[in-house]
Amino acid sequence: MTVHIVKSFDEELNRMTGEIAQMGGFVEEQIMASVNALVRRDSDKAQEVIAKDKRIDALEDEVEQMALRLLALRQPLAADLRLVTTAVKIAADLERMGDYAANVAKRALTLNKLDPVRPVNSVPRIAELVQGMVKDVLDAFVERDVEKALAVWRRDEDVDAYYNSLFRELLTYMMEDPHHITPCIHMLFIAKNLERIGDHATNIAEQVNFLVRGKPVEEARPKGDLTAYSTPES
């Protein structure tokens, strides 16, 4: 897109995009760090993740302030207006993702105090998947690439599929031995947190689509989390 006649307007819009990209980088880091803390039973690392969540909250505040200032002082229109409103929403999604990562770290702390459960390979796998979604959807945002955003949006199905299989796996462990229930429940919440991060990535994908095209996504949203209907017998 061509540049604004008022240069500082471009600078402000670019700075807002930059803040979002930085938030995304922090979220990716937090996801991986929280899962590493879990897999390696590293409580110091988990504490670090919990403490670092503040950085993401602070950036969200900053994006919100910038958006308010832009609305009040620049009265943005059309694509500029859509950028300001989507930036606020994307920042809110990223902030929630940060909370989920911090929650994974908190549960890792608890699990580290219990006997190790049988390794659940699906958790790092889900983490890797959602981290990739966060990275790609923010690239799509910065590059205004709708196709890339929609590819992320469709990938959410894979996350749901992993989550569903993990859910069933954990059910069988719990049925095996009631002592497994406490760690398995924590593990289940951890997986659910990661799965929710994927959902927020799809929200961002929808925002990118709206930012570029000015209308909502037409496809029906992929719906993959079927655990609401699952029973131990299934």
Partner 1 sequence: MDREADVAEARIDQGESPFRANFALGENSSATPDAGAPQQIAVTAKDVSVFYGKKQALFSVNLNIERNRVTALIGPSGCGKSTFLRCINRMNDTIEGCRVTGEIKLDGTDIYGRGIDVVQLRARVGMVFQKPNPFPKSIYENVAYGPRIHGLAANGRELDDIVEQSLRRAGLFDEVSDRLNTPGTSLSGGQQQRLCIARAIAISPEVILMDEPCSALDPIATAKVEELIDELREHFTIAIVTHNMQQAARVSQYTAFFHLGNLVEFGPTEHIFTNPTEERTQDYITGRFG
Q: Which of 72, 77, 220, 228 binds partner 1 (CB under 8 A)?
A: 77
Cβ 146 to partner 1 shortest distance, Å: 14
- Closest listed residue to residue 110, CA positions, set 192, 38, 170: 38
Residues near 228 by beta carbon (within 8 Å), at least 6 away in sequence: none
Q: Which of 75, 177, 223, 229 binds partner 1 (CB under 8 A)?
A: 75
Q: Which of 48, 57, 64, 80 binds partner 1 (CB under 8 A)?
A: 80
Q: Which of 76, 98, 132, 198 binds partner 1 (CB under 8 A)?
A: 76
Cβ 1 to partner 1 shortest distance, Å: 7
Report the run of H or E that residue 78 belongs to, with start and end: helix 78-112
Choices 4-12, 28-36, 139-147, 194-202; region in contact with partner 1 by CB under 8 A: 4-12
Which CB atom, from 111 or from 211, has the smaller least distance to partner 1?
211
What are the backbone dihedrals phi and psi of residue 76, each rounded to the nearest 5 degrees, phi first? -65, 150
DSSP secondary structure of 139-190? HHHHHT-HHHHHHHHHHHHHHHHHHHHHHHHHHHHHHH-GGGHHHHHHHHHH
**Interaction between residue 2 and partner 1 (CB under 8 A):** yes
Q: Do residues 167 and 161 lie in contact, with contact meaning Cβ atoms separated by under 8 Å?
A: no
Total chain residues near partner 1 (CB under 8 A):
17
Distance CA 125, CA 210 (A): 30
Q: Do residues 45 and 37 lie in contact, with contact meaning Cβ atoms separated by under 8 Å?
A: yes
First to last CA, the chain: 53
**Interaction between residue 4 and partner 1 (CB under 8 A):** yes
**Interaction between residue 72 and partner 1 (CB under 8 A):** no
- Closest listed residue to residue 159, CA positions, set 31, 24, 47: 31
Question: Which residue shows structure tokens 């924590």?
Answer: 186
Residues 25-64 contacting partner 1, CB under 8 A: none
Choices 78-86, 110-118, 132-140, 145-153; region in contact with partner 1 by CB under 8 A: 78-86
Q: Which of 32, 39, 71, 81 binds partner 1 (CB under 8 A)?
A: 81
Distance CA 208, CA 206 (A): 5
Which CB atom, from 215 or from 223, has the smaller least distance to partner 1?
215
Choices 51-59, 73-81, 103-111, 124-132; region in contact with partner 1 by CB under 8 A: 73-81
- Give CA separation, 7 vs 10, 40, 185, in Å: 5, 49, 54
Which CB atom, from 130 or from 217, has the smaller least distance to partner 1?
217
Which CB atom, from 58 or from 79, has the smaller least distance to partner 1?
79
* Interacting residues toward partner 1 by CB under 8 A: 1-6, 9, 75-82, 214-215
